Amino acid sequence: MSTPQPDILSLFAARLKARRLAIGLVQQDLGVALGLESRIAQARISRYETGTHVPDLKTALDLAEALGVSLSSLVAESDRLGQIIELVRQLPEGQQEELAKHLSALAASSPSKAEKE
């Protein structure tokens, strides 16, 4: 199993902290919401937010759920992509499918990133 790229880990850590602050949670409360013991909750979340400890996949999913976002938005390549993921996630499934069709058509008619570079 390969280790995630450091830039993805940094993005995850920064977005984790930003989202927690945005919804007004303190590290202690987030840790307890994950089921951590009160005495270690704050320290563990602090380690995740500074990138000194990398959560396993289940914990990362639990963190995202506790924060009300998808894990995809916490590890997206860019903040904009993360925002788009969250906006699409809020749509009903039928509208998500419609949007996916429109995006596929738009992508097919646009030059690729590689062609632009």
CA distance 65 to 52: 21
State phi, psi for 90 to the nearest 5 degrees: -80, -15
- Mean pLDDT value of segment 71-90: 90
pLDDT range class, residue 114, cuts 50, 70, 90: low
One domain for residues 12 and 48: yes
Place of tokens 């303190």: 26
One domain for residues 66 and 84: no
What predicted TM-score, i.e. pTM, was given to this entire model?
0.76
Is the per-residue pLDDT at 1 higher than 60? no
One domain for residues 88 and 36: no
pLDDT in tens, 41-55: 999 999 999 999 999
One domain for residues 32 and 82: no
One domain for residues 95 and 67: no
Domains identified in the chain, total number: 2
Q: In this predicted model, which residue has the larger pLDDT, 65 or 113?
A: 65
> In this structure, how many other beta carbons lie within 10 angstroms of the beta carbon of residue 27?
19
One domain for residues 23 and 40: yes
- Mean pLDDT value of segment 66-78: 92
One domain for residues 36 and 90: no
One domain for residues 90 and 36: no
State the residue range of the domain holding 4: 1-75
The answer to the question of residue 116 being in a domain is no
Please state the separation of Cα 11 from the chain's center in Å. 9
